[in-house]
């Protein structure tokens, strides 16, 4: 659903592992943080994480738009604008709105890493 690298970027912490099916919360993602003195799992609601991801994208000069089709598939679009160029991605279809945002942010992270190399 979301990569360790993206979760680390969005939360500003080094994530060691992700648990996609935490038992403590139905709509949550569990994760462990490097240096956590208890080595226990933290949890975040996927909708809260979706919002944090959109906010992170804004800090990278991107805006993510999501919408849902009548056939219940979610779609995300990435828009990038700065003084030098504008960019809009082709639509990315997935099964849920949070997953659409995570996929869009992963694309941003991957392209950020490519442009930094």
Q: How far is CA 94 from CA 9, 39, 59, 87, 116, in A?
A: 22, 33, 24, 21, 28
36-77 per-position pLDDT tens digit: 766 667 889 999 999 999 999 999 888 888 777 666 566 666
User: What pLDDT is stored for residue 14 in this prediction?
Assistant: 92
Note whether 28 and 44 are within 8 A (CB). Answer: yes
Q: What is the pLDDT of residues 9-38, one digit of tens each?
A: 999 999 998 987 656 677 889 898 887 766
Query: CA separation (Å) from 19 to 1, 34, 99, 108?
Result: 10, 15, 15, 23
Say what the pLDDT of residue 55 is. 95
Indicate if the pLDDT at residue 98 is higher than 90. Answer: no
Report pLDDT for 82. 58
Rounded mean pLDDT, 99-117: 80
Exposure of 16 by Cβ count < 10 A (0-12 exposed, 13-18 middle, 19+ buried)? middle
């Amino acid at each position: 659903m979301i990569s360790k690298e993206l979760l680390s970027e969005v939360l500003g912490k080094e994530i060691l592992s992700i648990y996609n099916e935490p038992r403590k919360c139905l709509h949550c993602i569990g994760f462990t943080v490097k240096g956590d003195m208890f080595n226990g799992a933290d949890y975040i609601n996927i909708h809260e994480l979706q919002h944090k991801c959109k906010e992170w994208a804004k800090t990278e000069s991107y805006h993510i738009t999501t919408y849902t089709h009548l056939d219940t598939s979610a779609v995300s679009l990435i828009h990038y604008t700065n003084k030098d160029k504008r960019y809009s991605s082709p639509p990315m279809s997935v099964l849920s709105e949070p997953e659409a945002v995570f996929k869009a942010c992963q694309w941003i992270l991957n392209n950020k890493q490519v442009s930094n190399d």
